[in-house]
Amino acid sequence: MEKSILKAAGLKKHYGSGDTQVRALDGVDLEIERGKFTAIIGTSGSGKSTLLNMLGGLDTPTEGSVQIGGTELAGLDREQAAVFRRKQIGFIFQNYNLIPVLTVWENIVFPLSLDRQKPDRPFIMEVVKLLGLEEKLDSLPGCLSGGQQQRVAIARALASKPAIILADEPTGNLDSKTSDDVMELLQMSSRKFHQTIVMITHNPDIAQRADRIVRIEDGRICQGCFTAKSPADQDARTSPL
């Protein structure tokens, strides 16, 4: 099995033309290792959100390519791309994106129902228990705290056993204690289920919780700004909850 699960090559995204052209991405090359937790960090306007949208097939690049598990996203038509995203990519958004009229359980399995897939109930219940949602499965999102809603979003992202999870500032709307809890849960998901996670954040402290840190500025990956944790850091990071 190939070590890298995601590859971006020569990725560019330009808006406008001439003197007013904005180069949101200006030639990004990036590989993501299977089963690792990678944080992409950058200031506002650095291009990190644009990059995540490209990696997830939510937007198309001006130039360049993205491959996930050997599949070239540019080679998929609109319907194929939608199906591929549902089956292979789990998204965790800053604003949760839960469906307010569905229960917690219904939100978790909703992406599976779109493809008429039968939920792996034992696996999903294991995730639910790890996230502390057993008593909330019949609740509506509006009855949950922000941290609980983000836990539901994590469970939904894991439910289809995707090849990769893309997290867009998953702690952005949470207080510091809840942010810490959510990061613990993402770390646990990574190590327990060997899940590949790519998270964007502007917060260096949050980024430090990942296995690897990549910095982006002005639409380009900063050379020499890749950070991998030492074995001691890894041992501390994977201590029991």
* In the predicted structure, residue 241 carries a pLDDT above the cut 80: no
Nearest to 43 by CA among 223, 203, 181: 203
Residue 191 φ/ψ, nearest 5 degrees: -80, -35
Q: Using pLDDT thresholds of 50, 70 and 90, give the confidence band for residue 115.
A: confident
CATH number of 34-49+79-237: 3.40.50.300
pLDDT at 237: 42
Q: Which residues contact 126 (CB under 8 A, 6 or more apart)?
A: none
How many Å is the maximal CA-CA distance in the chain? 56
In this prediction, residues 121-145 reach a mean pLDDT of 94
Q: What six digits make up the tokens of 179?
A: 């942010």
In this prediction, residues 116-138 reach a mean pLDDT of 93
* In the predicted structure, residue 106 carries a pLDDT above the cut 90: yes
Per-residue pLDDT of 33-46, as tens digits, reads 999 999 999 999 99
* Domain boundaries, given as residue ranges, for the chain: 34-49+79-237
pLDDT at 219: 95
209 CB-contact burial (10 Å; exposed 0-12 / middle 13-18 / buried 19+) = buried
Compare 234 and 56 and report the one with higher pLDDT: 56
Q: Is 112 helix (H, G, I), strand (E, B) or coil?
A: helix
* In the predicted structure, residue 157 carries a pLDDT above the cut 80: yes
* In the predicted structure, residue 2 carries a pLDDT above the cut 90: no
Per-residue pLDDT of 51-89, as tens digits, reads 999 999 999 999 999 999 999 999 999 999 999 999 999
Q: Using pLDDT thresholds of 50, 70 and 90, give the confidence band for residue 231.
A: very low
Per-residue pLDDT of 174-230, as tens digits, reads 888 888 988 998 998 898 889 999 999 999 999 999 999 999 999 999 975 556 554
In terms of residues, how long is the chain?
241
Q: What six digits make up the tokens of 166?
A: 């893309």
Amino acid at 111: P
Q: What is the layout of strands, in order, in the sheet containing 71-72?
A: 22-33, 4-15, 63-68, 71-72
Q: Which residues contact 152 (CB under 8 A, 6 or more apart)?
A: 96, 98, 104, 107, 108, 131, 133, 136, 141, 144
Q: Which residues contact 39 (CB under 8 A, 6 or more apart)?
A: 199, 200, 201, 206, 207, 208, 209, 210, 212, 213, 214
Q: What is the layout of strands, in order, in the sheet containing 89-92?
A: 89-92, 164-168, 197-201, 37-41, 212-217, 220-228
Any idea of the CA torsion for 187, 82, 144, 100, to the nearest 10 degrees?
Answer: 180
Maximum average pLDDT range among 103-107, 157-161, 222-226:
103-107
How many Å from the N-terminal Cα to the C-terminal Cα in the chain?
31
